[in-house]
Structure 1
Amino acid sequence: MLTAFKLKSFLFFSVYLSVASLYYFQNNSGPKMESEAMANQKEITSYFLDLLNESDSDATARALSFIASNWEESYEIMLLESIYFSRSTAHSNKLLKLLEQKTNKQFGFDYDKWFQWLWNKNATYSEEYYQFKGELHEYIDPKFKKYFSNRSKQSLIRLDEVRWGGVLQDGIPPLRNPKMISPLEATYLSDSATVFGIEVNGDARAYPKQILAWHEMFVDQVGGIDVAGVYCTLCGTVILYKTKHEGTNHELGTSGFLYRSNKLMYDKATQSLWSTLEGEPVIGPLVGKGIKLDYLSVVTTTWGEWQKRHPDTKVLSLDTGHRRDYREGVAYKDYFSTDDLMFTVPKIDSSLKNKDEILALRLPDVSNENLAISSNFLRKHPIYQNKIGTVAFTVFTDKTSAHRVFKTKGLKFKDYDRGSKVIDENGIAWSLKENGLFNSNGTKLERFPSHNAFWFGYKAAFPEVTLIK
């Protein structure tokens, strides 16, 4: 999410909450006190929403009294999120005091510690949390309510780990059918600029990081295939998905929410939330429908190298329809300059630094194995061979540190010029291209889909991943 957005000031949220709460509290007289046995989900939700009505001290007093008297462990996350979005210190202190009393934890306003404590024990929230989360975030964007309300039976992930990232739905605007230009027209790019390169059915395209970081997604048709390229800036991941599944083209966008610091997408038709890393719906009516999008390879390289390999490539134009500072290194400058996280994850694994880059390799249709290979390791080993299940693969790392992976069927390679020429153990020359590895006899070795990621985010999403470093 946007670095310039100072999340903990909640200024953006306060504007929406003041307007929405005025409407809500003028049209809802507040729940009446009654026993826990009679308090249904809607009324429990209303009590917690009353905690945010800071202009009505009687309403918040009644809510605090009910919550304290009828405390359940499932209330922890709702009270914590109420504190998180509270606007005044005095009010926050009242809520914090109750949370500390009921949990016997003294984390103060260190939200990272509170969330990590919650996430490292079994989930305790109940069905009313879905309603509460929907209505709470509806104050920010009315579209958010559909993500959560009445979806307790349609969830594959822990709801308490889903966090608002600081923007509205598509508040970081995806580039839909963006204007592409020729290399000669791309005078704004230096040869050393970082680009994300793709090739689909011979259609080569480059998406400069300096532009895509402001938009986090492009939706287009490339090589005759409907695709969405998703860039999670916080977790350093760019993945290219085929958006059509069994005849349905899923129109994806930026939900505004994160799961373990990884971007969650949404689809326009059902407002289901989708995992960026898995390409499947994780909350909403599409859950359990067997939908999992195929993904293709993305190469992170330099503009100079990509242009040399693909002289006919197209590249993003600065004419995006949006006004942004697209200069190199401007977007997320502060975030990328340190190893600090903007949003914490359940556990920090110190095997690598948080934002050390890894190459992610998995074939879920073949094996449950999941490999994360350190990019630093691959730079030192430009030819790296291994297996996932029964599938042998080779990673070739070029002079720009771009990784390309191929299913090499056990064939060994002894030499690589760090460009496009490879020699196997039998002395046969191979040509390395985006769509395959080819020798002079016409043999083709298939590309193995892969993508880069920051270590912390990938490890959080896949705790059982095997690290090679």
Structure 2
Amino acid sequence: MLAATAVHPRAETTDRAVARAFLTLLAGEAGDKAHAVRLIETRWEPSFLPMALEVIRLTRSAEVSGALVRIMEREAGARLGHDLNAWQRKMWNAPEARHPRYAAFKSALYSLIDPRFSAYFDTAGETLIRLDEIVWGGVRQDGIPPLRDPAMLAAEDAGYLEDDHIVFGLSVNGDARAYPKRILGWHEMFVDTVGGVPVAGVYCTLCGTVILYYTVHEGVNHELGTSGFLYRSNKLMYDRATQSLWSTMLGAPVVGPLAGKGIALKSGAVVTTSWGEWRRRHPGTRVLSLDTGFLRNYAEGAAYRDYFATDELMFPVPALDTRLKNKDEVFTVLLARHPEAPLAMSAAFLAANPV
């Protein structure tokens, strides 16, 4: 792993020196930063772009960001200025050019924010997704705190819920539970035991996915949490034992010691419905208590209210499909015989054309 402290780059001539130079732009003295810029400019190659963009996103120095933008524009022949989203889309729509020290750089860089982040990238494990598409979400590990073994109430005691409030319902071995969206929106994950089975429910607020995973695989219970990073605007999980990064969509590790080991968690059924309808169908259900141990505004619709007030994305993605608006809800069908060709249907279309 690279040291996170500033290192004078002039005496170094290896790939390590380049990675250190980028770190120096964040942690070094003014003179060291000037030398670092000259080294980066002299040795520039396309694999430097991901490191440059991550430094620009984190630095508070207009001088540093301006110098890097000037170099990038000259080398790439593109006038994108300080539009980081445009630079990232340009990078992601080209073949990946990964610098030999990029993983170590990323490990050292984000360990400045949370030392636990270093393990995500400083591993000898496989990487099944592009490292430059892993974007920091602005929080520390479990900074959006999962609800672990949360307190539950009997349905008749859940006076805080109205019949039209949205809940995510599930039933395992006859044990019915309801997890209100108004609560889960602030936590994005619950880790629980339902019907005697360890599970994790993952709610990615940014993309609207709600997935239940059975967390035991081949006798090992993978204790999952919120990594603090995203991939294509979809949260990445981590497991406590190895700090591997897991895809929320796939229920599988994609970076780190467990990646490429054939691990894929089995998913279960989750129903998104109203509290009144779920309670009618499952009168013996239990439901999350407001006593979560955290101070949040759990009012209906409060979580991410500003985000859903517009169609703008919080984090960039490689490409946009203009057939629907970014945040239009869709119902997706995955066919067992053709998993590579999912079918997405607009929720608005289905509401207007019930089947």
Class of the TM-score when normalised by the shorter of the 2 chains: over 0.9
Give yes or no for contact 1:130–1:149 (8 Å, CA) kept in 2: yes
The SS at the match of 2:144 is coil
Residue ranges of structure 1 left out of the alignment (5+ in a row): 1-22, 384-469
How far 1:363 moved relative to its partner? 4.6
The SS at the match of 2:75 is helix
How far 1:336 moved relative to its partner? 1.2
Q: How far does the alpha carbon of each residue in 1:1-56 deviate from its partner, in whole angstroms, 9 at most, with x for none? A: xxxxxxxxxxxxxxxxxxxxxx954xx54333344xxx14x3222111011136x1
Q: How does 1:292-371 map to 2 (within 5 A)?
A: 292-363=264-335, 367-371=339-343
The SS at the match of 1:51 is helix
The SS at the match of 2:145 is coil
Q: Indicate yes or no: 2:121 matched with 1:143.
A: no
Q: Indicate yes or no: 2:59 matched with 1:86.
A: yes
Q: How does 1:143-222 map to 2 (within 5 A)?
A: 143-151=116-124, 154-222=126-194
Give yes or no for contact 1:272–1:285 (8 Å, CA) kept in 2: yes
Corresponding residue for 1:106? 79
Corresponding residue for 1:46? 20
Sort the Cα spacing of 1:68 and 1:90 in 2 relative to 1 into closer, same or farther, 3 A. closer
Residue ranges of structure 2 left out of the alignment (5+ in a row): none
Give the residue type in structure 2 aligned to 1:145. S
The SS at the match of 2:163 is coil
2:200 to 216, 228, 243: 228
Equivalent-residue separation in structure 2 for 1:24 and 1:336 (angstroms): 37
Larger radius of gyration: 1
How far 1:95 moved relative to its partner? 2.2
Further displaced range: 114-123 or 84-93: 84-93
Q: How does 1:55-74 map to 2 (within 5 A)?
A: 56-74=29-47
Equivalent-residue separation in structure 2 for 1:29 and 1:90 (angstroms): 19
TM-align CA RMSD: 1.6
The SS at the match of 2:26 is coil
Give the residue type in structure 1 aligned to 2:61. S
Equivalent-residue separation in structure 2 for 1:221 and 1:339 (angstroms): 36
The SS at the match of 1:52 is helix
Equivalent-residue separation in structure 2 for 1:105 and 1:80 (angstroms): 14
Further displaced range: 302-311 or 254-263: 302-311
Equivalent-residue separation in structure 2 for 1:86 and 1:368 (angstroms): 40
> What fraction of aligned residue pairs are identical, expressed as a percent?
54
How far 1:367 moved relative to its partner? 4.4
Corresponding residue for 1:286? 258
The SS at the match of 1:369 is strand
Give yes or no for contact 2:244–2:255 (8 Å, CA) kept in 1: yes
Q: How far does the alpha carbon of each residue in 1:261-307 deviate from its partner, in whole angstroms, 9 at most, with x for none? A: 00100000000000000000000010111100110111111111111
Equivalent-residue separation in structure 1 for 2:263 and 2:4 (angstroms): 37
Equivalent-residue separation in structure 2 for 1:32 and 1:322 (angstroms): 49
Q: Indicate yes or no: 2:86 matched with 1:97.
A: no
How far 1:127 moved relative to its partner? 2.4
Give yes or no for contact 1:53–1:59 (8 Å, CA) kept in 2: no
Equivalent-residue separation in structure 1 for 2:313 and 2:7 (angstroms): 41
Equivalent-residue separation in structure 2 for 1:367 and 1:319 (angstroms): 40
Corresponding residue for 1:275? 247
Corresponding residue for 2:106? 133
Corresponding residue for 2:216? 244
Q: How far does the alpha carbon of each residue in 1:334-366 deviate from its partner, in whole angstroms, 9 at most, with x for none? A: 111211100111111011111111122225577
Equivalent-residue separation in structure 1 for 2:106 and 2:249 (angstroms): 23
Sort the Cα spacing of 1:360 and 1:204 in 2 relative to 1 into closer, same or farther, 3 A. same
1:32 to 5, 10, 13: 10
Give yes or no for contact 1:33–1:66 (8 Å, CA) kept in 2: no
Equivalent-residue separation in structure 2 for 1:159 and 1:323 (angstroms): 34
Give the residue type in structure 2 aligned to 1:96. V
Q: Indicate yes or no: 2:350 matched with 1:378.
A: yes
Q: Indicate yes or no: 2:49 matched with 1:76.
A: yes
Q: How far does the alpha carbon of each residue in 1:355-407 deviate from its partner, in whole angstroms, 9 at most, with x for none? A: 11112222557743322222223223433xxxxxxxxxxxxxxxxxxxxxxxx
Sort the Cα spacing of 1:381 and 1:29 in 2 relative to 1 into closer, same or farther, 3 A. closer
Equivalent-residue separation in structure 2 for 1:366 and 1:102 (angstroms): 42
Equivalent-residue separation in structure 2 for 1:361 and 1:127 (angstroms): 39
Q: Relative contact order: is structure 1 or structure 2 higher (C-alpha 8 Å, sep ≥ 6)?
A: 2
Give the residue type in structure 1 aligned to 2:224. L
Equivalent-residue separation in structure 1 for 2:7 and 2:38 (angstroms): 17
Equivalent-residue separation in structure 1 for 2:336 and 2:84 (angstroms): 35
How far 1:108 moved relative to its partner? 1.5
Equivalent-residue separation in structure 1 for 2:256 and 2:19 (angstroms): 20
Q: TM (normalized to structure 1)?
A: 0.73
2:95 to 122, 139, 147: 122
Further displaced range: 361-370 or 340-349: 361-370
Sort the Cα spacing of 1:24 and 1:162 in 2 relative to 1 into closer, same or farther, 3 A. closer
Give yes or no for contact 2:10–2:39 (8 Å, CA) kept in 1: no
How far 1:317 moved relative to its partner? 0.1
Equivalent-residue separation in structure 2 for 1:150 and 1:106 (angstroms): 36
Equivalent-residue separation in structure 2 for 1:337 and 1:195 (angstroms): 21
Q: How far does the alpha carbon of each residue in 1:422-458 deviate from its partner, in whole angstroms, 9 at most, with x for none? A: xxxxxxxxxxxxxxxxxxxxxxxxxxxxxxxxxxxxx
Give the residue type in structure 2 aligned to 1:86. T
